Amino acid sequence: MDKVKPLSEYILDSQKIEINDYKNKIKLAILSSFTINGLAESLKVKCSQKQIFGSTYVAGYNQYNQEIFDTKSNLYSFSPDITFLILDTRSIFGNLFHFPYSITKSERKNFVDEKINELLNLIEKFNETTTSKLVITNLGLPHYSPHGIAEMKTSYSFHDAIIDFNKKLKDKVIEMDSVHIFDFFKFVIQHGENNVFNFQNYLFGDIKIALDYIPHLANDLIPYVISFLGLTKKCIVLDLDNTLWGGIVGEDGFDGIRLGPQPPGNAFVEFQKYLKALSQRGIILAINSKNNFDDAIQVIREHPHMILKEDDFACMKINWDDKVSNMQYISEELNIGLDSFVFFDDDPVNREFVKENMPEITTPDLPHDPSQYSEVIQSLHDFSVFQVTNEDTNRRKMYFQQKQRSESQKSSTNLTEFLKTLNLEIDIKKSDSFTIPRISQLTMKTNQFNLTTKRYQEEEIKKFSEDDKMLVGCAQIRDKFGDNGITGAFIVEKTNSDEWFLDTFLLSCRVMGREIEKAILYHIINEARKNNVKRLKAKFIPTTKNKPIEHLLPDSKFSKENDYWVYNIETPFSMPEFLTLRVK
Amino acid sequence: MAEKLYKIISKVMNINIEEINDESSPTSISNWTSFNGYVLLDELETNFDVKFSIDEAMDVKNVSDIKRHLQNHGVNFND
């Protein structure tokens, strides 16, 4: 991130941001136990760098209790999407910050429990009153203790109490869908207490985060915004020479490239490890490299220090075509929109070429020093998610199977014949605590095969699931190559005893083109029939991306009625024979 | 040096440099809130490489006070 820009410039820049320049918008509220001026302005600027307009509400100085407990407060009338509650150790501990040993060990324990309970009451009231996400900071650990070096010989010491507070808060919040913790404890470790806390700022104006570090804090809160808006990127497309290894394999040869345990080759090993970890949590990796295929693939397959292997890449374009054509091909092959890609290439000319032709792709500038590569990706915040799901952790495997499927498709002559050979199985599942995060994630991320493109947060899906007037479900897809995981979802609104409305119907791009939608629709129509419903109503809301689902309704015998499409339940509906449908 | 000082004040208070003189203070500059006052001191410390004591910071009531304290830290305004 930009390390030199002082807070005053953020404040000035924030005044130049115009709401009309942005497609994505978010409302952010800031509550705090101390003076936190400048954070709202910094957040606005950081949002605008991600093409997001952030409108902000800042509660009065240390007014967070009142704002949350008063259901008519300005906080609630602002109706934020995300509320940041910024707490600090001095405010929470009060007098005990200086005199923790004026009370006994068991009193210290009780004190922490009491403070946790107060905070939980506050969270409960907040959640009752608003659907806003709540992000609470945990507490920073001061290096100070009145016991000095004896602190470590003190049982349930001052520092233990702070750590205990953080742990208890996490244990409670981990179960709450709409509440998250910002790890302020870690923020202070990263930047150092002597920097983040400035005594003069504190004594002057009760400013407990030094002015220079407010933009850093804003920067670290951006991942919540990205994740909330579903702007999380899906795939990193990598160059090879001087990106995954040092040197040029075509010139330096297999033995000449820099990749191994010694510097400078270890910088590339380190970067590959970082990428591997990203791929293990669901970020797709692909290659776009100008190289002789044989030279490059030999390194990938045989080099003893390659961390990333062939099956870590969902798609490899290693050829002499231009990078833009290759990007286009990768996007089509993986069925992912250009705006879900990050392009990572050490060559500024290639970067410029891609930037110019495909501005939707995020193309970060790279430092000359490969030891900073991981930091570049980290600071983008583009891969932030509120929660890592099972599908995320298995994605790498699933894309590799997908590659095998495409190979197999090439050998089949006609599509139905090919689909028959796949042994497709569809398990319809109810929404429950296991599937709700994934259903929400699908509504947030699916663009192409999505009838209405309605985005729902986890807590909304949860609310629908508990509502008798709604039917929420999802589909897990398996075939002979493996498990695709939960890749379809639907939400039906039971309008009245005669009519149901298809609020949401979507399939992940990974399983498109296999007529799975017919099986899911078959299931919904069956459910309607069982409940003596006469009509299933649906609406197609076109976007720039959902053309693939445009013909679903007419092709499935829905007839047009004004803006809607209606299926008469008495019409027989059949599902392709090669699909096996199970309802769990 | 006076120009450098005025430039910083103009940036932090978001006003034209022509509007600033040695008598400028929170009374004459409406953007000079207590918070912007802290931001200003912070920027001056960075840009002039000085550290104000808490007494000096408390004593600042207008631009000439700032000049006086900067001079005490060796910043020369007679150029």
CB-CB neighbours of B37 under 10 Å: 17
CB-CB neighbours of A525 under 10 Å: 21
Range of the domain at A376: 235-380
The token duo for A539 is: 């609406």
How far is residue B20's CA from residue A447's CA, in Å, rounded to a whole number? 54
Residues A373 and A271 sit within 8 Å (Cβ to Cβ): yes
Please tell me the distance in Å from B59's CA to the nearest CA on chain A. 12
The long-range contacts involving A404-409, CB below 8 angstroms and separated by at least 24 positions, are A404/A481, A405/A479, A405/A481, A406/A333, A408/A481
| Encoded amino acid at A135, one letter | V
The long-range contacts involving A189-192, CB below 8 angstroms and separated by at least 24 positions, are A191/A216
Q: Is A418 helix (H, G, I), strand (E, B) or coil?
A: helix
Specify which residues A538 forms β-bridges with. A502, A565
pLDDT, residue A3, reads 55
Residues A221 and A180 sit within 8 Å (Cβ to Cβ): no
Print pLDDT tens along chain A (584 aa).
Answer: 445 688 999 999 999 999 888 989 999 999 999 989 899 999 999 999 999 999 999 998 899 999 999 999 999 999 999 999 999 999 999 999 999 999 999 999 999 999 999 999 999 999 999 999 999 999 999 999 999 999 999 999 999 999 999 999 999 999 998 999 999 999 999 999 999 998 888 988 889 999 999 999 999 999 999 999 999 999 999 999 999 999 999 889 999 999 999 999 999 999 999 999 999 999 999 999 999 899 999 999 999 999 999 999 999 999 989 999 999 999 999 989 999 999 999 999 899 999 999 999 999 999 999 999 999 999 999 999 888 888 888 887 888 787 777 777 776 667 777 788 888 999 999 999 889 999 999 999 898 899 999 999 999 999 999 999 999 999 999 988 888 899 999 999 999 999 999 999 999 987 888 899 999 999 999 999 999 999 999 999 998 888 889 999 999 999 999 999 999 999 999 889 899 999 98
CB contact under 8 A, A207 and B38: yes
Q: Is the ipTM of this complex over 0.90?
A: no
How far is residue A13's CA from residue A11's CA, in Å, rounded to a whole number? 6
- Do A189 and A320 reside in the same domain of the chain? no
First to last CA, chain A: 48
The long-range contacts involving A58-67, CB below 8 angstroms and separated by at least 24 positions, are A58/A29, A58/A30, A59/A29, A59/A30, A59/A31, A59/A32, A61/A32, A61/A34, A61/A35, A61/A206, A62/A32, A62/A33, A62/A34, A62/A91, A63/A31, A64/A31, A64/A32, A64/A33, A64/A122, A65/A122, A67/A31
Q: Which of A9, A12, A205 sits opposite B38 (nearest CB)?
A: A205
* CATH number assigned to the domain comprising residue A256: 3.40.50.1000
How far is residue A446's CA from residue A450's CA, in Å, rounded to a whole number? 6
Q: Is B46 helix (H, G, I), strand (E, B) or coil?
A: helix
Which among B12, B13, B36, B42 is the top mutation candidate for probing chain A, defined by the most A β-carbons within 10 Å of its own β-carbon? B42
CB contact under 8 A, B34 and A205: yes
What sign for the dihedral angle of Cα A391, A392, A393, A396? Answer: positive
Q: Which of B11, B14, B57 sits opposite A200 (nearest CB)?
A: B57
Specify which residues A490 forms β-bridges with. A473, A505
CB contact under 8 A, A11 and B46: no
Q: E-assigned strands of A116-190?
A: 133-137, 179-182
Cα atoms in the 13 Å half-sphere on the side-chain side of A353: 14
Residue A91, in any domain of the structure: yes
Please tell me the distance in Å from B14's CA to the nearest CA on chain A. 7
Please tell me the distance in Å from B77's CA to the nearest CA on chain A. 24
Give the single-character DSSP code of A561: E
Residues A188 and A142 sit within 8 Å (Cβ to Cβ): no
Q: Is A137 helix (H, G, I), strand (E, B) or coil?
A: strand
- Do A75 and A95 reside in the same domain of the chain? yes
CB contact under 8 A, A207 and B11: no
| pLDDT tops 90 at residue B23 | yes
- Do A204 and A279 reside in the same domain of the chain? no
| Residue linked to tokens 């990106």 | A243
User: How many A×B Cβ pairs under 8 Å?
Assistant: 39
| pLDDT tops 70 at residue B33 | yes
Residue A385, in any domain of the structure: no
Residue A206, in any domain of the structure: yes
- Do A529 and A456 reside in the same domain of the chain? yes
* CATH number assigned to the domain comprising residue A558: 3.40.630.30
Nearest in space to B39 (alpha carbons), one of A61, A86, A189, A41: A41
Question: CB neighbours of A569 closer than 8 A, spacing ≥ 6?
Answer: A525, A528, A529, A533, A534, A535, A536
pLDDT, residue A389, reads 85
- Do A222 and A241 reside in the same domain of the chain? no
Burial class (CB in 10 A: 0-12, 13-18, 19+), B74: exposed
- Do A339 and A461 reside in the same domain of the chain? no
Question: CB neighbours of B32 closer than 8 A, spacing ≥ 6?
Answer: B13, B24, B25, B26, B40
* CATH number assigned to the domain comprising residue A141: 3.40.50.1110
Domain end marker among A228, A258, A276: A228
CB contact under 8 A, B35 and A204: no
pLDDT, residue A422, reads 84
How far is residue A528's CA from residue A250's CA, in Å, rounded to a whole number? 62
Residues A509 and A336 sit within 8 Å (Cβ to Cβ): yes
Nearest residue in chain A measured CA to CA from B42? A211
pLDDT, residue A2, reads 47
pLDDT, residue A468, reads 94
Residue A186, in any domain of the structure: yes
CB contact under 8 A, B38 and A204: yes
- Do A22 and A131 reside in the same domain of the chain? yes
- Do A359 and A413 reside in the same domain of the chain? no
Nearest in space to A521 (alpha carbons), one of A573, A454, A461, A452: A573
Number of domains in chain A: 3
CB contact B16 to A (< 8 Å): no
Please tell me the distance in Å from A15's CA to the nearest CA on chain B. 10
Q: Is A270 helix (H, G, I), strand (E, B) or coil?
A: helix
Residue A397, in any domain of the structure: no
Residue A484, in any domain of the structure: yes
Residue A388, in any domain of the structure: no
Which among B14, B36, B39, B45 is the top mutation candidate for probing chain A, defined by the most A β-carbons within 10 Å of its own β-carbon? B39
Q: Which residues of B touch A41 (CB under 8 A)?
A: none
Task: Transcribe A466-499 into DSSP letters.
Answer: H-TTEEEEEEEEEETTEEEEEEEEEEEE--SSSE
- The gap from C-alpha A225 to its chain's centroid, in whole angstroms, comes to 9
- Do A220 and A301 reside in the same domain of the chain? no
First to last CA, chain B: 7
Q: How many residues does chain B have?
A: 79
CB-CB neighbours of A264 under 10 Å: 14
Residue A344, in any domain of the structure: yes
Whether the bond between A364 and the residue before it is cis, its omega within 30 degrees of 0, is: no
- Do A361 and A431 reside in the same domain of the chain? no
- Do A221 and A240 reside in the same domain of the chain? no
Q: Is A510 helix (H, G, I), strand (E, B) or coil?
A: helix
CB-CB neighbours of B55 under 10 Å: 8
Question: CB neighbours of A74 closer than 8 A, spacing ≥ 6?
Answer: A57, A59, A67
Domain end marker among A167, A198, A228: A228
Domain end marker among A228, A256, A289: A228
Share of chain B above pLDDT 90, in %: 67
Nearest residue in chain A measured CA to CA from B40? A8
- Do A376 and A241 reside in the same domain of the chain? yes
How far is residue A461's CA from residue A510's CA, in Å, rounded to a whole number? 22
Burial profile A114-134: b = 16 or more Cβ within 10 angstroms, e = fewer: ebbeebbebbeebbebbebbb
